[in-house]
Amino acid sequence: NAGVMQNPRHLVRRRGQEARLRCSPMKGHSHVYWYRQLPEEGLKFMVYLQKENIIDESGMPKERFSAEFPKEGPSILRIQQVVRGDSAAYFCASSPPSEFGSPLHFGNGTRLTVT
């Protein structure tokens, strides 16, 4: 499967625990975006990364949230001390290392439930 792979598909955490969401981009893609989606709402941009660099994190809360895309391995979105309001679907998307105008290709998301 050459598509964007996200895991886990479903994640349940209790309030105060940590959530780690993983994303492996499509082969040949070096740009990764993370989005959050709530029911009846659109996709909200969180962060844009290239290998070993955070390019734009303007959509990510400054506290408890962090993201990385190391030289080797998947991109990770980390949420510390989760709260009920963090429950949502988190989508990762990737694009090739080309100029602007290339579409994003999405994974099937991780659905986080905080109890």
Partner 1 sequence: EDQVTQSPEALRLQEGESSSLNCSYTVSGLRGLFWYRQDPGKGPEFLFTLYSAGEEKEKERLKATLTKKESFLHITAPKPEDSATYLCAVQPGNQFYFGTGTSLTVIP
Query: Which spans of this chain sit near partner 1 (rule: CB under 8 A)?
Result: 4, 6, 33, 35, 40-43, 45, 48, 55-56, 58-59, 91, 93, 100-109
In angstroms, the first-to-last Cα distance of the chain is 33
Question: Would you say 9 or 15 has its CB closer to partner 1?
Answer: 9
Question: Would you say 40 or 72 has its CB closer to partner 1?
Answer: 40
Question: Would you say 2 or 100 has its CB closer to partner 1?
Answer: 100
- In eight-state DSSP terms, residue 57 is -
User: In whole angstroms, how close is the CB of 43 to partner 1 at the nearest point?
Assistant: 4
Question: Would you say 20 or 111 has its CB closer to partner 1?
Answer: 111
Q: 93 φ, ψ to 5°?
A: -135, 150
* Cα–Cα distance for residue pair 48/59, rounded to 1 Å: 9
For residues 17 and 82, the answer to whether their CB atoms sit within 8 Å is: yes
* Cα–Cα distance for residue pair 90/45, rounded to 1 Å: 10
